[in-house]
Amino acid sequence: MVLRDADLLLGAWRSRAVPEVPGVEPSDRPGLPLPRRLSGRRDSGEPDAAARGHDCRGGLRRRGVRSLEAWPRRRDLISAVIVHYRTPHLLEAAVAALHEDARTSAVPLEVVVVDNGAASAEATGGAAPEDPGAQVLRPAGNLGYAAGMNLGVEHATGDVLLLMNADVAVEPGCLGALLDALAEADIAGPRLFWDRGCRLMLPPQQLRTRRAELDAAWAERSPVWGRSFRRRWRRRARAFWRAGEPTLCYELTGACLAVTRDGWRRVGRFDESFRLYYEETEWLLRARSAGVRAVLAPAARCVHAYDQSAKREPRAQLWFEESAERFRRRRYGAWFAALLRRLERVRRRFEECPSFAGGPVEGEAWVEVTTLPLGVPSAGCRVPAGEAAAFEMPEDVRAGARSDLWVRVTDGGCRDLGGWLVKT
C-alpha cells in the first residue's frame, strides 16, 4: 500500500467518547454489540457471499462451487488470510510472527495463504514455500489483491478474520490487542510501523472527499499551497499517531485489518474490479455507510515492510492508475474525475526543502520520512528536541525503498524546519 493520510472520525468507545480529532465527521451510531467470539452469540448460519469456486489445492476449481457453509465456522479462532506475491522470505517471517504471538497469547490461529504469484514465480524461486505453517491456495494466475483476499476468506474457518499483506509482521501482543478492540467494533486496524525497530509510524489513509482530492492535487502544483497542505496534513496525522486507545477511524490501512465474520458479511467482499490499491478504501467507505464500526487499535503493533510486493509486479502502476480512475468516477462522478485528470496535467512544482541547520527545536520535534518531494504523506516519529539532527535512517527502510528518501524535521506547530535527502 502507498503512504496515505486521513483524518479520524468521532464516535463512542464503550461508554466513553473517543478523543476528538481535527477535521473529523462525527458518528451518531451507538456502540455495536460484542463480536460472536467474545459474546458467545450463535452464528446465524448465513453465508458471507457467493462462493467463487477456487480450489485450495491449486488452480481454479470448476464453477459448480461448494457452498461456503461446508466450511464450519470456529468462534474461538482467528483466521489470518495473507495474499502473497513473490516475497517468500517476507511470507515466512509473517507466518512465524503470527504463530509466535498466537502461542504466547494463547490465541487459537489458522493461517490461509493465497499465493498470487505461484504460476509465474516457481521458476524464479518466488513462490510460497510448500509448508510455511499455513494452508496455501495456488490460483492459476495473479488474481489481484482483492480477489485473492476474497478467495482466502472463503476458505477461512475462524469467526475473526485477519486480512494481511505478506510484508506485515505482527509484534508480540498484537493479536490479543486486536481482539480487545473488536469487543466494541467489527473492524480494527493496528498501529503500523515502517521499520523493525518500531520507530517510524505509518500514516492513515488520505481523506476521500472532493474537497480533499482537489486540496491534495493543487498542493503538488503550488509551493505556497503545498506548505499550507503539509501543516494541515500533519495535524491530522499526529492525532492519529498520538491515539492511545481504540479510536473510531475509517481511514485505516489495508495492509492489516481485523474484522469479525459478522462485519465481513454486513459489508460484503472486496470489490474485485480494484485489482491493486483502493480496494480497502472503497470497502471501508462501504463499512461506514453500513454502520459497521471501525477503530484504530494503537496497542496492536505491526511492522509493514512497505511496498515490497507491488514492486515485483510490472503492472502495479497501471493497476494503480486504473483503480484510481475507477474509484473517482464511482465516488465523485465522471465530471469530477475528468476535472482531476485536467488538473493533474498541470506541471508539478515543489518548494525546495532547506537544509536543516541543527540545534534544539522549541517545543516538541518530529522527524518525517517519505519518498515524495511534496513531503507528505509520510511516516513519522517524535524525537527529543535537541536530537533531530542525529536521526539515522533505519537500514531496513533504506534497503527496501524504491527511490531516494526525504527526511524533514518539523516543530510542534507542524512547521517545516528543514531536512535532507537520503540516497538509496
Rounded to an integer, the average pLDDT of 315-328 is 89
Q: Which amino acid is at 31?
A: G
Integer CA distances (angstroms), 76 to 67, 71, 234, 365, 377, in order: 22, 15, 40, 44, 38
More confidently predicted of 126 and 249: 249
Rounded to an integer, the average pLDDT of 380-409 is 93
Q: What is the pLDDT of residues 268-288, one digit of tens each?
A: 999 999 988 999 999 999 999
Rounded to an integer, the average pLDDT of 335-343 is 97
| Phi, psi angle pair for 418, to nearest 5° | 130, 180
Res. 8: pLDDT tops 50: no
Res. 178: pLDDT tops 90: yes
Q: Which amino acid is at 325?
A: E
Domain definitions of the chain by residue range: 12-317, 365-422
pLDDT band at residue 267 using 50, 70 and 90 as cut-offs: very high
Neighbours of 76 (CB within 10 A): 10
Name the grid cell of 332.
Answer: 465523485
Query: What's this model's pTM, rounded to 2 decimal places?
Result: 0.81
Q: How far is residue 88's CA from residue 129's CA, in Å, rounded to a whole number? A: 7
pLDDT band at residue 140 using 50, 70 and 90 as cut-offs: confident
Is 173 exposed, middle or buried, given 0-12, 13-18 or 19+ CB atoms closer than 10 A?
middle
Res. 52: pLDDT tops 90: no
To the nearest 10°, report the CA torsion of 94, 296, 154, 267: -160
CATH of domain 12-317: 3.90.550.10
**Rounded to the nearest 5 degrees, what angle is found at the Cα of 202, between the Cα atoms of 158 and 29?**
55
Integer CA distances (angstroms), 31 to 38, 75, 184, 212, 291, in order: 15, 21, 7, 28, 10
Q: What is the pLDDT of residues 66-95, one digit of tens each?
A: 333 444 555 679 999 999 988 899 999 999
In the prediction, which pLDDT does 306 show? Answer: 78
More confidently predicted of 389 and 368: 368
What pairing do the DSSP bridges indicate for beta strands 168-170 and 158-165?
unpaired
More confidently predicted of 16 and 93: 93
